[in-house]
Amino acid sequence: MKPNHPLTFLLRVLVLMVWIAAAADGTARAADRSFIGPFNTVTTVSTTVPSNGDVNPYGVARVPLSKGSLVEGRFLISNFNNGGNFQGTGTTIVQIAPNGTFSLFAQIDASKVSCPGGIGLTTALVALRSGFVVVGSLPTSDQGTVLSGAGCLIVLDSNGNVVETFSGHNLNGPWDMTAVDGGFLVALFVTNVLNGTADAGGSVVNRGTVARLLLAIPGDRPPLLLNSTIVASGLPERTDPSALVIGPTGVAFDDETGILYVADSLDNRIAAIPNALFRFRSAGTGSTVSEGGALNDPLGLVLAPDHHILSANGDDGNIVETNPRTGKQVAVKLVDNTGGPPPGAGALFGLIAASDGVYFVDDASNTFDLLH
């Protein structure tokens, strides 16, 4: 893409806005020390089960600003399963305060949303400064046993009402997501896990992607999709009898380096995609930040305040902290040893780093917990 291309200009404006917001936030970075090292206690904040019985909490997002029914500092959590515990059929997003105050933010009526295959809310969940919330859907049929469509991204207003749906545009099984939020300009980075996965019948296919969607937000009107670009590709993915599908999952953007970090779940590694905001070609599978060691099916991914990478293992209940500058895994914390086998398997997914610890969903107990 040429330097004077209008999309390049918009992306540079977005970067400037994010840098200004980061400078205003004034979050201090620690020296090269472990963020989670001092934390040894896990406390349950709240159940994640709403009145309709949805279970299997997946995505977590923190509300940046109060608007409508959204309260700044509270957390949104998406449920992947319905009350019958069928995967890819959950329709609810709940809002939970750090003190445990619980409310239903949204219950999406699948019959009123144009989403290929239906509704099954995934880990792909972001809350924007504009008050809009975006959530991914990877739906199933036949009681959660058959992948039924490519899914979509669903946009809700600050009161939980669906106002827009994005499908196509490189979206195929949106599994996780992060946002670079500049207010009226937003870049979404979305991992996709259905590119040839179902047809492979459980075999690994190297077709997982990360798509970057550039949105314009014209005031209180629904976001407009300006552009969609594949920034990473060739990542391994496959169907799984217990997890439904495994592939590239968590994504975290470092606004200091412009690197997008990706949880490459099947290869047990953290990948780095350089120049993620400005590239208009795929970086393939990226470079490897860290591989093996304590990583064991990394799923959820987030940056700590010191810009270390925190990843939630899907196969053993550990949160792993990695220094991206050295690739060293500097800390491991067991936060759930139930469920499985093995102990802790299937318990973890989305997580959020905060000044008081690490908030995370626990799929085994359907709770929202805090490591502190």
Q: How does pLDDT run across 66-76, given as a tens digit for each residue?
A: 999 999 999 99
What does the alpha-carbon distance between residue 127 and residue 135 come to, in Å, rounded to a whole number?
A: 9
* 235 located within any domain: yes
In-domain check, residue 314: no
**CA-derived radius of gyration, the chain:** 19
What pLDDT, on a 0 to 100 scale, did the predictor assign at position 28? 40
- For the chain, how many residues are written? 372
Is the per-residue pLDDT at 362 higher than 60? Answer: yes
* Structural domain contains residue 187: yes
CA 367, CA 48: separation in Å to the nearest integer?
Answer: 5
Task: Answer yes or no: is 310 within a domain.
Answer: no
Q: Using alpha carbons, select from 89, 168, 178, 70 the residue that is nearest to residue 134.
A: 178
| Candidate from 28-42, 90-104, 208-222, 324-338 with smallest mean pLDDT | 28-42
**How far apart, in whole angstroms, are the C-alpha atoms of residue 339 and residue 200?**
28
Spell out the residues 6+ positions from residue 54 whose beta carbon is closer than 8 angstroms to its own.
79, 81, 82, 83, 90, 91, 92
Contact 50, 94 (CB under 8 A): yes
Return the closest-CA partner of residue 331 out of 354, 355, 365, 306: 306
10 pLDDT higher than 80? no
Q: Which of 329, 308, 301 is nearest to 210 (CA)?
A: 301
Let me know if residue 346 belongs to a domain: no
- Kindly state the percentage of the chain with pLDDT values over 70: 92
pLDDT at 339 over 90: no
Is 338 or 186 the better-scoring residue by pLDDT? 186
pLDDT, tens only, 276-288:
999 999 999 999 9
The tokens for 179 are 């946002």
Residue 65 has pLDDT above 60, yes or no: yes
Q: What is the mean pLDDT of residues 216-243?
A: 95
For 170-179, how does the pLDDT look when each residue is reduced to its tens digit (9 = 90+)? 999 999 999 9
Asked if residue 155 lies in contact with residue 162, where contact means CB atoms within 8 angstroms, the answer is yes
DSSP string, 190-253: EEE--SSTGGGTTS-EEEEEEEEEEEE--TTSPPEEEEEEEEEEEEEEEEETTTEEES---EEE
Residue 222 domain flag: yes
* Identity at 31, one-letter amino acid code: A
Both tokens of 329, joined, read: 């895994």
Chain centroid to CA 241? 22
CA–CA separation, 80 vs 57, rounded Å? 6
Cα gap 208→248, rounded to integer Å: 6
The CA-based angle 96-101-102, given to 5 degrees, is 55
Rounded Cα gap, residues 136 and 177, in angstroms: 8
Is position 243 within any domain?
A: yes
Q: Look at residue 32 and tell me if it is in a domain.
A: no
At residue 341, the pLDDT reads 77
Type and span of the H or E element at 152: strand 152-156
pLDDT of residue 31 exceeding 60: no
Q: Which two tokens stand for residue 154?
A: 């669903």
The count of domains in the chain is 1
Whether residue 1 has pLDDT greater than 80: no
Where in the sequence is the domain holding 67, given as residue range(s)? 6-22+48-248+261-288
Question: Which of 120, 128, 114 is CA-nearest to residue 168?
Answer: 114
